[in-house]
Amino acid sequence: MMNIDVLSIFPEMFEGVFGHSILKKAAEKGAAGYNVVNFRDFANNKHQTVDDYPYGGGAGMVLKPQPIFDAVSDLKERAKSTSPRVILMCPQGERYTQKKAEELAREEHLIFICGHYEGYDERIREHVITDEISIGDYVLTGGELGAMVVIDSVVRLLPGVLGSEESHIQDSFSTGLLEHPHYTRPADFRGMKVPDVLVSGNHKLIDEWRMKESLRRTLQRRPDLLEEAELTEKQKKWLDELIKLNE
């Protein structure tokens, strides 16, 4: 089972997320366990303050090191885990990708630190965390929403969580490409028909159609992904044909 701890001064934000959908099912199946800790409880001052003014002046407040250092140490001791991945949700972190999700899904213990205010004391970065992650080039009020995104994307990759093991393998980005279009019944909806190949019963042609459409969609919407995608010779040939059609 993967143990997931979250440090946040707003732990109630996670109640709905962990109590529904895939994350709830993962907990019920014993694939993942969640623990949200208010790191304000670890503050060693009478008013339980976790932030202070930055040295050198400037706008905003900075999270103090002591509550987070002590909270992480406590979580490690309780879990008897000496090497968890300690993840700082931060706009300065590496941009989150499916590859990173797959990497984290191989871990046994993840600790997420969700900050607020202007930022973190730099000693937290230097001595506590193992990863800094950003879910995009924009700024959120706090790290909670970003942590929810990362946790959801990781937990769904754990063995036995999804109904079909092929589901996440075929997802967009898992193959380095965007996913092909999907259709369901009826085959003819208000004159809009499902492509003939999908109702042909010929699975070889269906697989080829899906791959070509995946390439087409990636070329149209995220051509940057093609620069690092590992394509077979057949896929490269199909891609060249698509590029020529678009010229």
Handedness of CA 84, 90, 94, 96 (dihedral sign): positive
The C-alpha atoms of residue 112 and residue 36 are separated, in whole angstroms, by 9
Residue 224 forms part of a structural domain: yes
pLDDT digits (tens, 9 = 90+) for 53-93: 999 998 889 999 999 999 999 999 999 888 999 999 999 99
CATH of the domain at 36: 3.40.1280.10
Alpha-carbon 23 to chain mean position: 13
pLDDT band at 175, cuts 50/70/90?
A: confident
What torsion, rounded to 10 degrees, do the Cα atoms 147, 148, 150, 153 define? Answer: 170
| 222 shares a domain with 100 | no
pLDDT at residue 60 in the model: 87
pLDDT digits (tens, 9 = 90+) for 101-157: 999 999 999 999 998 877 899 999 999 999 999 999 998 999 999 999 999 999 999
pLDDT band at 169, cuts 50/70/90?
A: low
pLDDT at residue 164 in the model: 62
What torsion, rounded to 10 degrees, do the Cα atoms 141, 68, 7, 128 define? Answer: 100
Residue 135 counted as an annotated binding residue = yes
Cα Rg for the chain, rounded, in angstroms?
A: 23
Between CA 184 and CA 195, with CA 189 as vertex, the angle to 5 degrees is 60
Residue 207 forms part of a structural domain: yes
Strand order in the sheet with 131-134: 32-37, 2-7, 109-114, 85-95, 131-134
pLDDT at residue 172 in the model: 55
- Fill in the amino acid letter for 23: L
pLDDT at residue 165 in the model: 61
Whether 118 sits among the annotated catalytic residues: the reply is yes
CATH of the domain at 216: 1.10.1270.20
71, 124 in Cβ contact below 8 A?
A: no
Whether 103 sits among the annotated catalytic residues: the reply is no
pLDDT at 174 over 90: no
Whether 107 sits among the annotated catalytic residues: the reply is no
63, 116 in Cβ contact below 8 A?
A: yes
Residue 110 counted as an annotated binding residue = no
30, 155 in Cβ contact below 8 A?
A: no
Last residue of a domain, one of 109, 126, 155: 155
Q: What is the total count of domains within the chain? A: 2
Residue 139 counted as an annotated binding residue = yes
Residue 115 counted as an annotated binding residue = yes
| 148 shares a domain with 43 | yes
| 146 shares a domain with 39 | yes
Residue 161 forms part of a structural domain: no
pLDDT at 173 over 90: no
pLDDT at residue 170 in the model: 54
**Out of 41, 74, 171, 213, which one is annotated catalytic?**
171
Residue 162 counted as an annotated binding residue = no
Domain of 50 in residue numbering reads as 2-155
Quote the pTM value: 0.89
Whether 213 sits among the annotated catalytic residues: the reply is no
Handedness of CA 164, 165, 167, 168 (dihedral sign): positive
Compute the mean pLDDT over every residue in the chain, rounded to the nearest whole number: 93
| 114 shares a domain with 24 | yes
Residue 72 counted as an annotated binding residue = no
| 46 shares a domain with 92 | yes
What torsion, rounded to 10 degrees, do the Cα atoms 44, 45, 48, 52 define? Answer: -100
**Out of 70, 74, 107, 118, which one is annotated catalytic?**
118
Q: What is the per-residue burial (b if ≥16 Cβ within 10 Å, else e) of 19-54?
A: eeebbebbbeeebbebbbbbbbebbeeeeeebbeee
88, 115 in Cβ contact below 8 A?
A: yes
Residue 118 forms part of a structural domain: yes
pLDDT digits (tens, 9 = 90+) for 9-65: 999 999 999 999 999 999 999 999 999 999 999 999 999 999 999 999 988 899 999
Residue 138 counted as an annotated binding residue = yes
Candidates 133, 157, 151; CA nearest to 33 is 151
Grouping H, G, I as helix, E, B as strand and the rest as coil, residue 201 is coil
